[in-house]
Structure 1
């Protein structure tokens, strides 16, 4: 694939968040093109999922990741190489991509990718519909302070509040890239609605967080090892079109 577009630049503290609805019907005609840009390992993974309901979502997610990341370096999507750290966190390999940090998240019908210029980043998105049962196990996932705060929330708002904590915690763990070496109970977020007012945990002063968006179905959050000075949102249909979004809330599919 020939590269014709200008390489995107990342300023210090800038985080770009990309989204794609994996069940978008217009993507179906692109599946052969998507498979063509995958690595041999990704193609094998896709083939193993052929009889799964998640095969298409996997293919679109990998295509989104490759096409997005290629916009930040002088490499075609199929030329990107991926590895993992000792805990399994994905990372780009090669000199041309050493300035790029990224993380991806997937849930029911939606994939997100966050990109930063050299700052470790983690992103999480959760499909909260029909997940009310999570509240019964909230104490297993939250710190004592978070659990106490959740109990003070009105019953009809509890599930949304729980997922705000949960996505932030997941984003932080993914950004650190050290698996569950830090227990979920060992760090806390203090929230005021969608605003993170305080983070209490390891190296707390280094980290910055944002709740990106929430509606009746989804919640998304991002964590960055460094201060966030700029957050941009983009929508992509891989190899078809991309556009900047007016609001981070627009990363979620329209109801």
Structure 2
């Protein structure tokens, strides 16, 4: 299996309190249809998460292609997955995926050889918490058909306290999401038949290299053309990357980017329609949890 260059970026929304100027620079980079979609979010948390995801995708394509950020355009395929609308069909193929939850936004991207186009990448991030109204045991009962018997055996190990059970649950869910996001079908497959054996060689910890020994069986068949990375981005966020028909030459950690690395100044950011759009967005409320943190 050929090796591919992999990029792993993350952004912590807690590090950014957007100003009108910064938001205008960001909005000026995205397409009109993306602006329409973003404005439909009720909470500014969701608005900013999705916006950063789109900026990460642009930075990634710009870095790989040499195009300016404002020249990068995206569309969605029949599976609903964003793809780069490229003019140079002779360049190397790219696969990338963005994900966000809570304060965390991430992108994983991989670049291949022109003669090796059949590969892909999926990524997901989950906050390691359970905030439902029911007991954890009742929540697990309701989610029973989403996991294989082997997965439940690991999640509910007797040596796991409640926090460790939640962490094990989120690790498995994150892996399943990353896998189906690369397939581009969403959570519409029989998740009970997608069974992960997570890497238990050492604990999943922050600031160390990711776990890479996780394996997958679908309908009890080994999926040897898939490889996985598990990361702990912060103490409360786990992330997973699914690699199909590709293998990164190294298993590095996610690099956290600053907002300044995603923006460029442009005349369009000064347009009244952009400024008006951003003023309206800044009036959106934060979620209650965010307010409590502040």
What is the Cα deviation at residue 15 of structure 1? 1.7
Cα distance in 2 between the residues matched to 1:151 and 1:240: 42
Of 40, 54, 57, the match for 1:62 = 54
What is the Cα deviation at residue 230 of structure 1? 1.9
Q: 3-state SS of the aligned residue for 1:83?
A: strand
Q: 3-state SS of the aligned residue for 1:67?
A: helix
Q: 3-state SS of the aligned residue for 1:230?
A: coil
Cα distance in 2 between the residues matched to 1:54 and 1:180: 20
Larger radius of gyration: 2
The equivalent residue for 1:219 is 238
The Cα offsets for residues 121-153 of structure 1, whole Å up to 9 and x where unpaired, read as 000001122446453434132112111222225
Of 102, 105, 108, the match for 2:99 = 105
The equivalent residue for 1:85 is 77
Q: Is the 8 A contact 2:58 2:69 kept in 1?
A: yes
Cα distance in 2 between the residues matched to 1:60 and 1:203: 36
Q: Report 1 or 2 for greater relative contact order, CA contacts < 8 Å, sequence distance ≥ 6.
A: 2
What is the Cα deviation at residue 166 of structure 1? 0.8
Q: CA RMSD, aligned part only?
A: 2.6
The Cα offsets for residues 64-97 of structure 1, whole Å up to 9 and x where unpaired, read as 2212321111211221121222221221121446
Cα distance in 2 between the residues matched to 1:22 and 1:76: 24
- Correspondence 1:40 to 2:32: yes
TM-score (norm 1): 0.80
The equivalent residue for 1:234 is 255
Cα distance in 2 between the residues matched to 1:231 and 1:46: 33
The equivalent residue for 2:217 is 200
Cα distance in 2 between the residues matched to 1:181 and 1:60: 26
The Cα offsets for residues 2-60 of structure 1, whole Å up to 9 and x where unpaired, read as xxxxxxxxx93332110111232364341110011110111222333376442233323
Of 163, 169, 173, the match for 2:176 = 169
The equivalent residue for 2:157 is 152
Structure 2 runs not aligned, ≥5 long: 113-118, 205-210, 264-294
Q: 3-state SS of the aligned residue for 1:167?
A: helix
Distance 1:48 1:150, change over 3 A: closer
Cα distance in 1 between the residues matched to 2:157 and 2:233: 20
Distance 1:53 1:179, change over 3 A: closer
Q: 3-state SS of the aligned residue for 2:37?
A: helix
Cα distance in 1 between the residues matched to 2:5 and 2:86: 22
Q: Which moved more, 1:64-73 or 1:92-101?
A: 92-101
What is the Cα deviation at residue 185 of structure 1? 1.0
TM-score (norm 2): 0.70
Distance 1:62 1:229, change over 3 A: same
Q: Is the 8 A contact 2:55 2:262 kept in 1?
A: no
